[in-house]
Amino acid sequence: MSSEDIFSSRLKLLIIMAKAFLKDCPIGKYRKQAIIENSHFVFYQSLKLSSEIGPIKNDDSRTQPGRASTGELYEEYFFYQRTQLLAVMAKALAEGRLKGKARRKALQDNLDRICETLTFNFHIKDVNFLKVA
């Protein structure tokens, strides 16, 4: 299992955890601990993957066949920024700090965007995991 596969699996788990929170599923001691640990992993891995993209410039050096275009890199950059944000949000919800209507809306928006990108851009066929929550 590559580090990319592990990141993908942990991100999916974090999505399920956050969706469960939005549906008011109870968070016990063990779930809380699992969410916090998973958030840390997703946060640091997203940070690493985001920094690997490097500066995004409008040159054509990256737009050769087989290489990601500037637009794709830009989308990827924001995807990892959103997964970092999700990790921050998930940690806050596990610690009982994610309160308020606008914060819940922000969490929902972020989850929607991440799932949209996972489904359409990363061509993940198995989206059944989203039905778990």
Partner 1 sequence: MSQVNIPNVKIAVIDDDLLARDFIVTVLMYCVNRDVLSFDSGLAAWQYIKDHGSLDIIISGIDVPGLSGFKLLSKFKKKYPEKKCILMSADPAHEPSARDSGADAFLAKPVSVNDLFKVVETFVV
Shortest distance in whole angstroms from residue 67 CB to partner 1: 19
Residue (of 108, 48, 49, 111) closest to 82 by Cα position: 111
Helix (H) or strand (E) holding 28: none
- CB 52 to partner 1: min, Å: 14
Asked if 11 is part of the footprint of partner 1 (rule: CB under 8 A), the reply reads: no
- Taking CB under 8 A as the binding criterion, the range among 3-11, 14-22, 28-36, 81-89 that sits at the site for partner 1 is 81-89
Distance CA 44, CA 47 (A): 5
Instruction: Annotate each residue in 37-76 with x if it binds partner 1 (CB under 8 A) or - if it does not, as one string.
Output: -------------x-----x-----------------xx-
Residue 84, CB-side half-sphere exposure with 13 Å CA sphere: 14
Task: Pick from 26, 28, 65, 100 the residue near partner 1 by CB under 8 A.
Answer: 100
Options 85, 115, 124, 133; binder of partner 1; rule CB under 8 A: 85
For residue 20, give the amino acid letter: A
Helices 3-22, 29-53: axis angle to 10 degrees equals: 130
**Residue 84, interface with partner 1 (CB under 8 A)?**
yes
Q: Which of 68, 74, 69, 82 is nearest to 56 (CA)?
A: 74
Distance CA 36, CA 2 (A): 22
Residue ranges binding partner 1 (CB under 8 A): 50, 56, 74-75, 77-78, 81-82, 84-85, 88-89, 99-103, 105-107, 109-110, 113
